[in-house]
Structure 1
Amino acid sequence: MNSRSSVGCLILAVIVLSDHVTEGAVLPGQCVRVSPAKVTEENISGRWYELRRVHSSETYEKCNYDDYTLSPSTFRQIWFLKINSSFYSEGRYAHSIAKALQPHPSRFGISASFVLDTTWARAPANDEPNFFVLYVDNRFAIVYFCEEFGRMKLDLAWIMSRDRKAKKAELDDMETILHAHGLHPKMVDVDQENCPPQDSTR
């Protein structure tokens, strides 16, 4: 399995027990219980540029961006989140797709707790949320993924922006929000310099 991609393939590669170990993300212990934000189709859908993320030796950190699409289903009023992830390597953009669903709709709004589909072919085996939008405004978003397997956990986080660039102080403020949730991952900046043009929509 080729696990060199952005959020989708990295998660899929580890959860289906590939031979790769994600440096800095697979840790002993249990997932932290977090309080997700409220999301709408308007505030989460669209293009997000990854500016900081948990470091991984299995993924590239160059020109990464994600196209989010949040849409409702008539079945049980479930909300689906589709993530088209892209990164630049060897002279071209590579793409992957991840899907998530909200198993327990709330009449108070769309809670940003989702079950990320790590099987490609079928719905998740359980409805325990593993993918969370922790913060979102008109410029920034913070997303967090955690999956337990045995006594270990896969712990990932991304700080994203509607723009390719942000001030260091702004990103530090976003990381402080992660810390307020009890999360202290080792993060690196994603290189968004000199990025070739990408598709406007996919």
Structure 2
Amino acid sequence: MPGSFLYIVYCCIHTSLSTSFVQVYHLDYLQAGFVYLPFDVGAIISTIVSGKWIDRDYRIVAQSHGLPIDKVSGDNLLHFPVEEARLRSVLLPTLVALVSVVAYGWLVDRHVINNTLLVRINEDVPATAQASSNIVRCSMSAVLVGTLQIVIDKIGFGWAFTLLGSFCLVAGFFYLIERMYGRKWRVARHVANTE
């Protein structure tokens, strides 16, 4: 669910980029197309950095609970706090996303120039979990992307992206809930499925 809110923000930013840069900064369509390149660079850097970052968090949480890490057969996730491990550092990127999205909205308004946990907690049905996540996030994004221009026209670019930035806060709230209660829910689901 929190990933859906962040995906909404991502889709809305992508949807607004080219048309906004053409209208606000008077770029031609070729120039406006180049504004997508930083997303590509960011995705590459994010993949490299976030993979190492979440692996480090995993090791730290395992050590703090006195649990070994079995790289060959995998860890027993029933007894491992994977939610704590995978969401240990989630608030910093979420806050950075919040600040970035709000800043983007207001800078454009004033004409001035973020799946691993999902698969781990559903490792018996990872494809189903990913498909379910995609259905929710894409459906939610489709609704908001479909109404984005109406929202921008009604309240302005700055306020529209302040509203979208607040979705980062909502995502952060859901990440905290998952981190606090996820293991308990996962163990209860495992017990219910084995009875």
| TM-score, normalization by structure 1 | 0.21
| Greater strand fraction, Structure 1 or Structure 2 | 1
Which structure would you say has the larger RCO, counting Cα contacts within 8 Å and 6 or more residues apart?
2
| TM-score, normalization by structure 2 | 0.22
